[in-house]
Amino acid sequence: MPRTIVAADVIVTSPGRNFVTLKVTTSDGLVGWGDATLNGRELAVASYLRDHLCALLVGRDADRIEDTWQYLYRGAYWRRGPVTMAAIGAVDLALWDINGKALGVPVHQLLGGPVRDGVMIYTHATGWDVPELLEAVDAKREQGFLAVRAQFGVPGLDTVYGVSRSGAAYEPAGRGVGPKVEVWETSAYLRHAPVALQAVRDHVGPDLHLLHDAHHRLTPTEAIRLGKSLEGVDLFWLEDVLPAENQQLLRQVRAQTHVPLAIGEVFNSVYDSLDLVSERLIDYLRVAVGHVGGISHYRKILAHAEVYQVKAGPHGPSDVSPVSLAGSLHVGLATHNFAVQEFMGYPAETYEVFRPGWSIRDGYMHPGDAPGLGVEVDEKAAAAFAYEPAYLPVARNRDGSVKDW
């Protein structure tokens, strides 16, 4: 008897931040969960699912995960793009969840079983000035993290994305209609970044893995200068030095600095990383499982990267929901070229809605052995958190022109 999809429903909820979740129900009473969250553009994906995909799912065989992926991707005429791929990703995650539950095994077992005991995670440490930053890094080390991303304020600027002046936690998207505007000056950043990061390295010694994110803001010349100025810091990676579509220009950066490079959190299919990977212009690929069409497409992206010794280091801020994060951990546990998972953590309310089965020990994360993805969603709790518009900030240069994200 085929296991048929009888319902596909979209849940939009805001426990601490906005999430879009897909619930797929089968004829034998199984429920699979998928994440369709696209930070700051959530309702576009909710509509893609509600208005276009959900009706196509009803009546399909839930066990035909790959065929459903091909049907939604190749059959749509309009391919790729963040909205489309996040919607397909939610369906795919939900079907892998159902398949694991049907067979009584965790998703990592469906992918061939563990190749490691746990997935190393990195978290964020931010401080407006250097002493605050060192304190924040120390706090993360005390919690057992082996890898930490350090972000800091820049002298002369009032605000820097992701760095609060009070030391409080940040959310990538601020609530309210319309983005906040931040003023940015690259020259001030380029002067200060090596000072702040060298101070962290001197403070922590050689063992801690240190990462830094430049948020797509530099030109190739600026990226080369930054890379060279950080070579003595021994970074695990330098992230997003150029806007992600400037791929051919990355060759110049690569030729002139040996700092390891990571890119790809805004990518949505294998076609975005084909050249970067096959020319080995990056060391780490940042694609997130939910944003690239789910596990089915993600594992192909990683298989391509494996050939070129490029490793996965996926995006994992709070806007990647616990459902996607669990999917990423299952893939990470079962995939050889998986280096590190970003784990920013979530606001406390998020855990009132999402109940993940993962665990964290000594800087490593394990998705757990519950059947499927191992995350349950409390729909009643979700209903209590109404959607609120929220946007990532927009940066402008001193002359008022818009800065690259």
- Give me the active site residues, please: 161, 215
Nearer to ligand CS2 (CB atom), residue 211 or residue 224 = 211
Residues 155-214 that bind Mg ion (CB under 5 A): 213
Q: From 13, 76, 69, 15, select the one nearest 42 (Cα to Cα).
A: 13
> Is position 265 an interface residue for ligand CS2 (rule: CB under 6 A)?
yes
Letter for the amino acid at 173? Answer: A
User: CB of residue 185 vs Mg ion: minimum separation in angstroms?
Assistant: 20
Query: Residues 215 to 234: which contact ligand CS2 by CB under 6 A?
Result: 215
**Does 317 sit near ligand CS2 (CB under 6 A)?**
yes
The stretch among 57-65, 91-99, 311-319, 382-390 that binds ligand CS2 (CB under 6 A) is 311-319
- The window from 23-31, 107-115, 314-322, 372-380 that contacts ligand CS2 (CB under 6 A) reads 314-322
82 binds, among ligand CS2, Mg ion, none (CB under 5 to 8 A by kind): none
Binds ligand CS2 by CB under 6 A, chosen from 167, 172, 179, 389: 172
- Give 99 or 186: the residue with its C-beta nearer to Mg ion: 186
Q: Could you tell me which residues come within 8 angstroms of residue 205 by beta carbon, excluding any fewer than 6 positions away?
A: none
Report the length, in residues, of the chain.
405
Least distance between ligand CS2 and beta carbon 59 (Å): 34
Q: Find the binding residues for ligand CS2 in span 335-364 (CB under 6 A).
A: 342
Q: DSSP letters along 255-280, please?
A: HH--S-EEE-TT--SGGGTHHHHHTT
Q: Is 319 in the site for Mg ion (CB under 5 A)?
A: no
Q: What are the angstrom distances between the C-alpha of 375 and each of 58, 91, 122, 167, 227? A: 23, 15, 21, 30, 39
Does 213 participate in binding ligand CS2 (rule CB under 6 A)? Answer: yes
Q: How far lies 329's CA from each of 70, 267, 367, 373, in Å?
A: 24, 19, 6, 9
Q: Which is nearer to ligand CS2, 99 or 324 (CB)?
A: 324
Give yes or no for residue 389 binding ligand CS2 (CB under 6 A): no
Distance of closest approach, residue 273 Cβ to Mg ion, in angstroms: 15
Q: Exactly one of 21, 25, 37, 39 binds ligand CS2 (CB under 6 A); which one? A: 39
Q: Which of residues 101-140 bind ligand CS2 (CB under 6 A)?
A: none
Identify which of 405, 402, 334 has the alpha carbon closest to the alpha carbon of residue 111. Answer: 334
Minimum CB separation of residue 83 from ligand CS2 in Å reads 14
Three-state DSSP class for residue 29: coil
Indicate whether 42 belongs to the interface with ligand CS2 (CB under 6 A).
Answer: no
**At a CB cut-off of 8 Å and minimum separation 6, what does 208 contact?**
137, 141, 146, 147, 148
Q: CB of residue 378 vs Mg ion: minimum separation in angstroms?
A: 29
Residue 345 contacts which entry, Mg ion, ligand CS2, none (Cβ below 5-8 A, type-dependent): none
HSE of 194 in the Cβ direction (CA atoms, 13 Å)? 15
Residues ≥6 apart with Cβ < 8 Å to 360: 121, 144, 343, 366
Rg (CA), the chain: 21
Task: Compute CA 132 distance to the chain's CA centroid, rounded to the nearest angstrom.
Answer: 26
393 binds ligand CS2 (CB under 6 A): no
Give me the amino acid identity at 281: L
CB nearer ligand CS2, residue 6 or residue 172: 172
Q: How far is CA 46 from CA 10, 49, 73, 209, 380, in A?
A: 7, 5, 17, 37, 19
Dist CA 350 CA 128 (whole Å): 26
- Comparing CB distances to ligand CS2, the nearer of 3 and 140 is 140
The binder of 39, among Mg ion, ligand CS2, none, by C-beta within 5 to 8 A per type, is: ligand CS2
Q: What is the DSSP string of 30-52?
A: -EEEEE---TT-HHHHHHIIIII
**Residue 320 Cβ, how far from ligand CS2 at the closest point, in Å?**
7
Residue 121: enclosing H or E segment and its boundaries? strand 119-127
Least distance (Å) between residue 70 CB and ligand CS2: 28
Binding site partner of 389, from Mg ion, ligand CS2, none, Cβ cut-off 5-8 A by kind: none
Q: Which residues bind Mg ion (CB under 5 A)?
A: 213
